[in-house]
Amino acid sequence: MNILSIQSHVAYGHVGNASATFPMQRLGHEVWAVNTVQFSNHTGYGAWRGTVFPADAIREIVTGIDERGALPSCDGVLSGYMGDAAIGDAILEAVARVKTANPRALYCCDPVIGDVGRGVFVRPGIPEFMRDRAVPAADVVTPNQFELEQLAGFSVGSLGAAVAAARMLRSRGPETVLVTSLQTPETPDDAIELLAVDGQGAFRLRTPLLPVSVNGAGDAIAALFFVHLLTTGSAAEALSRAGSSVYGLLKATAEAGSREILTVAAQDEFVRPSRIFTPEPV
Ligand SMILES: Nc1ncnc2c1ncn2[C@@H]1O[C@H](COP(=O)(O)OP(=O)(O)O)[C@@H](O)[C@H]1O
Ligand SMILES: Cc1ncc(COP(=O)(O)O)c(C=O)c1O
Ligand SMILES: [Mg+2]
């Protein structure tokens, strides 16, 4: 597979493309990484340095790839942290160019807006852009529970409500919805869940809750889920593989007591997860 991945880059640590690129490469895929920002580190530290690129900088890189004649061989576009709402237009233009060149290519949008702990952590305009423009253009969306609520417009206090919210997003365009970090009153205290919903049905994958609070796991799981979906065609299989890999990655991270995910040290988890979790239909 050839994946055009348009998201943030950090020099230190692993979020955005610095989380997503290597796992896809480790699975044997080519990644055309286009960076929306270059920061020293992720924003979860509260302080960072660097640059949000202008939307035209992203257009330039995509135009250059197009000029190499590569877009017909692009299998999928993955987008994540944008930095600025104007970058959204450049991302959707890139999706349109890829789909013109290869009508079979899919667009996976990780609608990075915020999370339960930090609330909204992106610039004004981005949540609205994700809801009104990116979700309708996407084939796959990968919100966490907080983002699912923002996009659907109602709170998700049960598994049933999460399935309903995912189905509402599907009705706006995307065939497949992956909900990450789902915790409802039905979730055991020592567990965390993923939920995949497509035209076939809904699947839940439950794993132990690890004593970590990290950034970048969402970016890794979106990338892994997307490439496994592209290669297997099965949301349930992609859920099992991506969820098992990220569990192994975070277990190693917890054991090391690291604040950054161990993307490099735990790389075998992307290929052969130590423990395989199986989704159940819900
Ligand atoms: N503390 C944790 N214990 C176990 N798994 C976790 C934990 N935090 C995250 N994960 C896994 O990583 C996935 C992505 O989570 P998360 O980092 O919360 O996404 P995002 O950063 O986009 O909010 C979760 O769905 C879950 O499978
Ligand atoms: C620069 C940057 N990119 C991406 C993300 C998203 O990371 P996550 O995978 O935790 O949603 C963050 C979160 O803090 C970030 O600061
Ligand atoms: Mg995320």
Q: What is the CATH number of the domain that holds 11?
A: 3.40.1190.20
Give the domain extent around 55: 2-281
Beta carbons of 215 and 190 less than 8 angstroms apart: no
Q: Whose CA is nearest to atom 15 of ligand 1?
A: 218
Whether 219 has a binding-site annotation, put simply, is yes
Whether 8 has a binding-site annotation, put simply, is yes
Q: Is the dihedral of CA 209, 185, 226, 129 positive or negative?
A: negative
Does the C-beta of 179 come closer than 6 Å to ligand 1? no
Q: What is the pLDDT of residues 34-54, one digit of tens each?
A: 999 999 999 999 999 999 999
Those residues with Cβ within 8 angstroms of residue 142's Cβ, 6 or more apart along the chain or in another chain:
108, 109, 110, 111, 177, 178, 179, 180, 218, 221, 222, 225, 226
Whether 158 has a binding-site annotation, put simply, is no
d(C-alpha 160, C-alpha 120), whole Å:
24
Beta carbons of 176 and 229 less than 8 angstroms apart: yes
Q: Which residues pair with 193 in a beta bridge?
A: 182, 206
The Å distance, Cα 135 to ligand 2 centre, comes to 19
Q: Into how many domains does the chain fold?
A: 1
Give SS3 for 228: helix
**Structure confidence at residue 54 (pLDDT):** 98
The Å distance, Cα 106 to ligand 3 centre, comes to 19
Beta carbons of 4 and 74 less than 8 angstroms apart: yes
The Å distance, Cα 97 to ligand 1 centre, comes to 32
Mean pLDDT on 64-88: 98
Distance of alpha carbon 4 from the chain centroid: 13
From 194, 214, 221, give the residue whose CB has the most ligand 1 atoms within 8 Å, as the site to mutate.
Answer: 221
**Structure confidence at residue 271 (pLDDT):** 98
ipTM: 0.97
**Structure confidence at residue 76 (pLDDT):** 98
The Å distance, Cα 39 to ligand 1 centre, comes to 22
Structure confidence at residue 75 as a pLDDT band (50, 70, 90): very high
Indicate which atom in ligand 2 lies nearest the CA of residue 83. Answer: 1
Indicate which atom in ligand 2 lies nearest the CA of residue 220. Answer: 9
What is the dihedral angle through the alpha carbons of 94, 81, 205, 203, rounded to the nearest 10 degrees?
Answer: -40
- Distance, first Cα to last Cα, the chain: 31
Q: What are phi and psi of 36, to 5 degrees?
A: -85, -30
Give SS3 for 5: strand
State how far the alpha carbon of 41 is from the alpha carbons of 8, 12, 50, 56, in Å: 10, 5, 9, 23
Q: Which residues pair with 33 in a beta bridge?
A: 5
pTM of the model: 0.98
Q: Which residues pair with 144 in a beta bridge?
A: 180
d(C-alpha 182, C-alpha 166), whole Å:
12
Q: What is the pLDDT of residues 131-172, one digit of tens each?
A: 999 999 999 999 999 999 999 999 999 999 999 999 999 999
**Structure confidence at residue 131 (pLDDT):** 98
